[in-house]
Each structure stands twice: as C-alpha cells, then as structure tokens.
C-alpha cells in the first residue's frame, strides 16, 4: 500500500459556514478523541468522489487532533478490471464471478494486508469494495473496523453481494450514504447513514476571482454570451454521458446557441474510462459546441468550478448513483441541477425546488428547457440549492458525524 499525502486544513477557516452548536460539538468530540489513531484505505488518491472527500476530511480530522493516515492499495491492472466489474455488479449489472476472479481478489487483499501491523491504529475506515478483503488477511489487533460503502448496493447482483458480504463479518460497523443501501442479511450489525459532503473552501468550490474565472473559461473553450449546460463526471456508463448528448441534441433544436460541456476524469482505479471517452468523442461527432474535456487537457478543479458556475443548468443524468458530489457542487454555486432520480441524487435535488429529477432523455429535455426558458426560475432554484447544501452537505457536518461514529466505536 502507498501512503497519500494531504494538504493542511484548519477547522477555524470553516467557522463562517458552521452553526455555533455544531462547532461546539465538533470541538467537544475532538477533545475526547485527541490522539486517536485512524487509518483510511481506498483504491485511488485521485479521481472520483471518494478521493475528493478524503482530501478534505483527513486534514480536518488531523486538525481536530487525530492522527490520520491515508493508504491506497497497490494492485495490478487486472485487479482494477475485476473491481470495476464488481462495482458494476453491485449496482445491479449481470456478470459472473469465476474462481480466477476470487483468487485474484484474495491474493491482492493478502499482499496489501501484509502492510498492516497489529496495534498501529485504533480505527480503520475501509472505503468501497476494492480493499474490503484486507481484514480477512491482516492482523489489525484491537483496531475497530468500519466499511464505508459509497455505492448504491440496494439491488445488487446476488453472487457478487454474497461474495462481498463474506468479508463484512470482520467489520464492527458499516457506513452507507443511505441506510436503504444495506441489504437484508448483511453481516455487520451496526449500520450508520452518513451522506457525503463538499468542501466550501477547496479550489473546486470556493469563490473565484474575475481573472480566475476568465482564464478558466478560456481553457474550457466556451464562447461567452451563449448558454452552456454541463455534466461533470467520470467517464462511466452509469453516468449516461451518451444520454446527455441525446438530450443536448434535442435542446439544440430550440436553443440554437446552446453549448454542452462534458468534463470527465480518468481515475486510476477505473479502467472503463478510456473506452467511454472514445465512444463519447465518436458520438459527439463534428459538433464543435460539444466540448469533451478531461484532466488530460489540464482541466482541473478551478475549471470544473468555473464550468459549474457559468452553466445555466448542470446535469447529472445518472442511471445509478451512490451520491453524486457534482450535484451539491453545482448547488453550492447557485446553479440549478437536473439529475437522474436515482441513489443519492433525490437527497439533494428537491423536484421543482432547486432543480428537477428525471427518468429519461425526454424528461431531461423537458426540464432543462424549462429552466433555460425562465431566468427568474433559474435564479430562485439556484438560491434554494445553495441553502440546502449549506444546511446538509458541507464537510463540517460530515466531519461531525465521523467523530460521533469514532466515539461510538471506541467507547
């Protein structure tokens, strides 16, 4: 396993966003938990929501006095092919798990488990299926083990779920974005519901200066004065990027100047990305008002931030979704969001209040068109979205719930 370094962050800087009783409770828990040794393990330090969250939560936990390490598992590319299939199967896709698959999963878990020493940590939080097998092969001593599942496992492929569930008996608690994602028969007693969060001070979400905004828009290649709609997400079939292009094409018949930005990143643990990226380029054809951009064109946090700000509507047309940080990110920038009515998206979008929930390309066209037609409605929805994020989806609420969980498990 490799250790990931994080930047320093200070809870003090977040005070403008926190209610005083929440801050007080965080400080109280921090003093109770000072010195607690915590390990987070996941599959990648970059790309996708989990890495995004850990780059904020870990520095904040450290600032609260905890000793926190972040380790990323080491594995050959075949392992990530397998775990992406697992991810897809756990979200309901048909697939078969062969003996060869099981052996590969076991061997990689074993290899990474050899980095764990008994007595080194008080709490280990293992994120998602890729490292779930570690406790079966590692000696964690008296360390309390938490499995944090970020995906929607409410209707999984049964064979894959049973295989995964076999590893869960080693854990003391599981955390899901929604309690409903935990299947009947799950072999962990304690189930916590903790939704993810966004960092209001990160480059992804902070206010941008005029110059930063202009520079970012130039990099994105957007023509100013013409309306933009955007989807930001890994190049993944569940995010339905081709469906977004279909919706854009229909909308373009009415909104002749419309531009579509599709921004995606290649996470190191997601081997499907390149294929979807190529499909998307082919599908977009010669329409220069569609821009398909990624981290390989140096499109990074500030550009994503600018895209979410400049857009008239942000889309997240997912077919399956754990949470979709991209929804809260757009809401924080007062941009209305049209999102698939799946997973954690309805937690964030209240239909008709701060955006719309959709089930199809036709819905996407209908509701996006409504917002594009009515700037007053867009403004009202944007303001409501901001309030929802401020109340429920900022890192400080998330930090608080983790500290409560750690206290529960160590008491």
Residues at the site binding ligand UDP, with contacts judged by CB under 6 A:
48-49, 52, 204, 232-234, 263-265, 294-295, 304, 323-326, 329
Q: Which is nearer to ligand UDP, 26 or 263 (CB)?
A: 263
Q: Which is nearer to ligand UDP, 135 or 344 (CB)?
A: 344
Tokens of 167: 């590893």
Angle (CA) 320 341 90, round 5°: 20
Smallest gap, in angstroms, from Cβ of residue 202 to ligand UDP? Answer: 9
Q: Which is nearer to ligand UDP, 33 or 86 (CB)?
A: 86
Q: Which is nearer to ligand UDP, 276 or 324 (CB)?
A: 324
Q: How crowded is residue 387: how many other Cβ atoms within 10 Å of its Cβ?
A: 13
Q: Which is nearer to ligand UDP, 325 or 338 (CB)?
A: 325
Q: Which is nearer to ligand UDP, 48 or 241 (CB)?
A: 48
Smallest gap, in angstroms, from Cβ of residue 400 to ligand UDP? Answer: 20
Q: Which is nearer to ligand UDP, 232 or 331 (CB)?
A: 232
Smallest gap, in angstroms, from Cβ of residue 150 to ligand UDP? Answer: 6
Q: Which is nearer to ligand UDP, 294 or 404 (CB)?
A: 294
3-state secondary structure of 157: coil
Q: Do 1 and 71 contact (CB within 8 A), yes or no?
A: yes
Residue 173: name the closest of 185, 190, 159 by CA.
Answer: 190
Using DSSP bridges, classify how beta strands 2-3 and 67-72 pair: parallel, antiparallel or unpaired.
antiparallel
Smallest gap, in angstroms, from Cβ of residue 238 to ligand UDP? Answer: 8
Smallest gap, in angstroms, from Cβ of residue 267 to ligand UDP? Answer: 7
Q: Measured at CB, which residue is nearest to ligand UDP?
A: 49
Q: Which is nearer to ligand UDP, 40 or 204 (CB)?
A: 204
Smallest gap, in angstroms, from Cβ of residue 48 to ligand UDP? Answer: 4
Q: Do 345 and 327 contact (CB within 8 A), yes or no?
A: yes
On the 0-12 / 13-18 / 19+ scale of CB atoms within 10 A, 259 is buried
Smallest gap, in angstroms, from Cβ of residue 43 to ligand UDP? Answer: 11
Smallest gap, in angstroms, from Cβ of residue 300 to ligand UDP? Answer: 7
Tokens of 287: 């329409």
Please state, in angstroms and rounded to a whole number, the distance separating the CA atoms of residues 85 and 138: 25
Please state, in angstroms and rounded to a whole number, the distance separating the CA atoms of residues 237 and 196: 22
Residue 76: name the closest of 45, 125, 111, 50 by CA.
Answer: 111
Smallest gap, in angstroms, from Cβ of residue 142 to ligand UDP? Answer: 32
Calculate the dihedral angle through the C-alpha atoms of 218, 221, 227, 230, rounding to the nearest 10 degrees.
Answer: -110
Q: Which is nearer to ligand UDP, 259 or 318 (CB)?
A: 318
Please state, in angstroms and rounded to a whole number, the distance separating the CA atoms of residues 319 and 240: 7
CA–CA distances in Å: residue 308 to residues 44, 94, 231, 305, 376: 24, 34, 9, 5, 18
Please state, in angstroms and rounded to a whole number, the distance separating the CA atoms of residues 169 and 145: 10
Beta strands in 233-349 (DSSP E): 259-264, 290-294, 313-316, 337-340
3-state secondary structure of 299: coil
Please state, in angstroms and rounded to a whole number, the distance separating the CA atoms of residues 319 and 239: 6
Using DSSP bridges, classify how beta strands 259-264 and 173-176 pair: parallel, antiparallel or unpaired.
unpaired
Residue the block writes with tokens 């929930």: 357
Smallest gap, in angstroms, from Cβ of residue 204 to ligand UDP? Answer: 6
Q: Which is nearer to ligand UDP, 144 or 150 (CB)?
A: 150
3-state secondary structure of 152: coil
Smallest gap, in angstroms, from Cβ of residue 308 to ligand UDP? Answer: 8
């Amino acid at each position: 396993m490799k250790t990931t370094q994080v930047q320093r962050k200070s809870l003090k800087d977040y005070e403008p966003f926190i209610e005083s009783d929440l801050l007080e409770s965080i400080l109280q828990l921090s003093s109770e938990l000072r010195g607690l040794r915590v390990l987070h393990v996941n599959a990648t330090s970059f790309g996708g929501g989990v890495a995004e969250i850990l780059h904020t939560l870990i520095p904040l936990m450290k600032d609260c006095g905890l000793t926190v390490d972040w380790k990323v598992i080491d594995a050959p590319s075949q392992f990530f092919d397998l775990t992406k299939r697992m991810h897809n199967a756990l979200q309901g896709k048909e697939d078969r798990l062969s003996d060869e698959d099981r052996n590969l999963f076991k061997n990689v878990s074993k290899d990474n488990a050899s980095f764990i020493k008994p007595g080194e940590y008080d709490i280990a939080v293992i994120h998602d299926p890729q490292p779930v097998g570690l406790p079966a092969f590692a000696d964690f001593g008296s360390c309390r083990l938490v499995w944090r599942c970020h995906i929607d496992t409410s209707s999984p492929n049964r064979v894959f779920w049973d295989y995964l569930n076999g590893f869960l008996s080693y854990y003391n608690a599981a955390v899901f974005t929604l309690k409903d994602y935990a299947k009947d028969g799950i072999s962990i007693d304690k189930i916590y519901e903790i939704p993810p969060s966004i960092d209001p001070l990160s480059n992804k979400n902070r206010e941008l200066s005029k110059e930063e905004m202009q520079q970012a828009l130039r990099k994105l290649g957007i023509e100013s004065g013409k309306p933009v709609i955007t989807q930001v997400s890994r190049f993944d079939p569940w995010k339905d990027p081709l469906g977004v292009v279909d919706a854009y094409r229909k909308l373009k018949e009415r909104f002749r100047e419309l531009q579509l930005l599709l921004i995606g990143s290649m996470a190191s643990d997601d081997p499907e990305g390149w294929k979807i990226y190529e499909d998307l380029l082919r599908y977009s054809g010669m329409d220069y008002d569609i821009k398909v951009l990624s981290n390989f064109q140096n499109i990074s946090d500030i550009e994503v931030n600018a895209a979410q700000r400049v857009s008239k509507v942000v889309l997240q047309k997912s077919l399956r979704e754990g949470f979709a940080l991209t929804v809260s990110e757009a809401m924080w920038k007062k941009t209305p969001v049209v999102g698939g009515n799946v997973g954690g998206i309805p937690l964030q979008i209240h239909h008709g209040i701060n955006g719309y929930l959709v089930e199809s390309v036709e819905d996407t066209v209908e509701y996006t068109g409504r917002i594009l037609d009515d700037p007053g409605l867009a403004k009202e929805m944007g303001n409501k979205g901001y309030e929802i994020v401020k109340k429920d989806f900022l890192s400080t609420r998330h930090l608080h719930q983790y500290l409560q969980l750690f206290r529960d498990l160590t008491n």
